[in-house]
Structure 1
Amino acid sequence: MPDDLTKAGRPTPRSAFAEVAPDGLFERPGVIRLRDPGHRPKTLLRVRLTPAWSAAAESVLGVAPPDQPGTPARSPVANVLWLGPDEWLVLGIGPASRSCIGLGSLAPALLRAGLAAAEVGDGLPDLELSGPRAREILAGGAALDLHPTAFPAGRATRTRLGRIGVLLQRAEDSGNGPVFRLHVERPWAGHLWSWLADAALDHPSNDESFPR
């Protein structure tokens, strides 16, 4: 490999779902739709929150990290998900993140602000789950109350699904029902995709034109 190969010139990492979903898409009409959204910058932030450190994080992220379980905080630069009393997942979003932080990783700026941060990016891939039976599919493998009143849009929590650990995030509903994002450690990505696709085949479709 040439010594002068820059980070920008390196090949894009192979999708964690390539083995089970080369096209990055699975759909059972009337049940669920799975989609690989591709690379998203993700930074793990660890800090014991104090007013000074909260202000330091806010100076980089544009919003203070949330201090309540499962709650998010959002700015034009990042979506910050509460994972624990001293741990957050920071998702770089939008052109603001890319323009001010280069490739979108917020870790360098957080480190300069004196906070403990590590870019996890492709080591924690995510998939998007949507469709009219998405909530039923998840309820079949996770011991969570996923009713909108208990798990509203924006909420995120760690749980077990299909015998593996995931970070489950509820996004805004679409016209075709609820939308969830599932973040999983890369070695388990293919297993998670396959588990969800197999579960969908066991559910009857709401689409009368699609075989049950």
Structure 2
Amino acid sequence: MPELAQWPTEQASEVSWNDLPVKARLCEGWCTFRLKILSDWETTAARLGLPNIGMATSSAVAIGPGDWLIFCPEEQRENVLAKIALSQGYAVETSDALVMLDLGDAAEILSGLTGLNVESFGSGRATRTKLAGIGVILTTADDGSLRMIFDISYARHMRRFLEYAI
């Protein structure tokens, strides 16, 4: 039987996000979960205060029908897991699989790189698109800064792209 490849263990913190033409800061100290609710997801989402498709809050991004990324500081992990249990869905912790970068006020730059209108990055919005040939989620934090979420295995690729594309 052939051996299975091992998932990349590189941490996003091992990639230098300094000295880029755009301000990029790794968001650390967060837990992330992917939550799927299979039945009556609209009612359950409303009851739990989850955003609608294409929208985001400071603690969740709706990425599809019945599908959310949930964020919380590490110290709130147990409370969030209890809330997720009320959803009657299922969740997978994705903290070690995703990178979340704070890109500050780079909405115009990302608009040029993605072809999306700057309004796509407005407060409370979430947009799934491709950047550097990989799927990313772009959303705006409560403080107005733009955040980009993507698979950790592309951290070095995204770093090089941000360095040379801008």
TM-score (norm 2): 0.77
> Do structure 1's residue 70 and structure 2's residue 54 form an aligned pair?
yes
1:107 deviation in Å? Answer: 4.0
Q: Which structure 2 residues correspond to residues 87-106 of structure 1 after superposition, within 5 A?
A: 87-93=67-73, 97-98=76-77, 101=78, 106=80
How many residues matched? 156
Aligned to 2:61: 81
Separation in structure 2 between the aligned mates of residue 163 and residue 26 of structure 1, nearest angstrom:
22
Q: Decide whether the 8 Å contact of 2:139 with 2:147 is kept in 1.
A: yes
The answer to whether 1:37 aligns with 2:37 is no
What do the CA deviations read for 1:35-84 (whole angstroms, capped 9, x no partner)?
Answer: 11224200101014153x347x62xxxxx2223x321245xxxx111111
For 2:12, the aligned partner's letter is A
More helix by share: 2
Where does residue 3 of structure 2 map in the other structure?
Answer: none
Task: For 1:85, give the aligned amino acid.
Answer: P
Deviation at 1:14, TM superposition (A): 5.5
Aligned residue identity for 2:156: G
The answer to whether the Cα contact below 8 Å between 2:97 and 2:152 also exists between their aligned partners in 1 is yes
1:138 to 2:110 alignment: yes
Structure whose CA Rg is larger: 1
Structure 1, unmatched stretches of 5+, are 1-12, 59-63, 201-212
The SS at the match of 1:130 is: coil
Matched to 1:138, the amino acid is L
Q: Is the 8 A contact 2:42 2:66 kept in 1?
A: no
Which residue is equivalent to 1:181?
A: 147
Q: Identical aligned pairs, as a percentage?
A: 28
SS at match of 1:90: strand
Q: RMSD of the TM alignment (CA)?
A: 2.7
Distance 1:110 1:70 in 2: 20
